[in-house]
């Protein structure tokens, strides 16, 4: 999984983008080399579950809500979180390929 963070120019928010690259690989080609597969029909992502995040907040950012959004869910899911100083800890719900977590006031 790869995680990147962004902070919008306006508003008190930190946005985390989580991308899960774990998948069942297509069978190797006749030459024994890895196959890129046949596109979307061969994509077989393996869901991520129970990812715990421990995030150091930027100076001045106060968090009151942590929510997750993914294509598999309808709307945002509010997450329970704990805070210690500038650190926020939470567990991300399961997702297949992409999830956004917003930390905001």
Q: What is the pTM of this model?
A: 0.85
- pLDDT of 98: 95
pLDDT < 50 positions in the chain:
none
For 2-58, give the secondary structure using H, E and C.
EEEEECCCCCCEEEEEEECCCECCCCCCCCCCCCCCCHHHHCCECCECCEEEEEECC
- pLDDT of 33: 84
- pLDDT of 78: 97
- Residue ranges per structural domain of the chain: 2-104
Q: What's the CATH superfamily of 2-104?
A: Golgi alpha-mannosidase II (2.60.40.1180)
- pLDDT of 40: 66
- pLDDT of 34: 76
- pLDDT of 10: 78
């Amino acid at each position: 999984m790869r995680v990147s963070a962004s902070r919008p120019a306006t508003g008190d928010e930190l946005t985390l983008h989580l991308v899960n690259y774990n998948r069942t690989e297509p069978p190797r080609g006749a030459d024994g080399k890895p196959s890129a597969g046949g596109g979307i029909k061969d994509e077989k992502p393996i869901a991520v579950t129970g990812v715990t995040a421990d995030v150091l907040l930027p100076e001045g950012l106060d968090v009151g809500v942590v929510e997750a959004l993914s294509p598999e869910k309808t709307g945002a899911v509010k997450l329970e979180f704990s805070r210690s100083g500038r650190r926020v800890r939470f567990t991300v719900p399961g997702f297949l390929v992409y999830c956004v977590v917003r930390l905001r006031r």
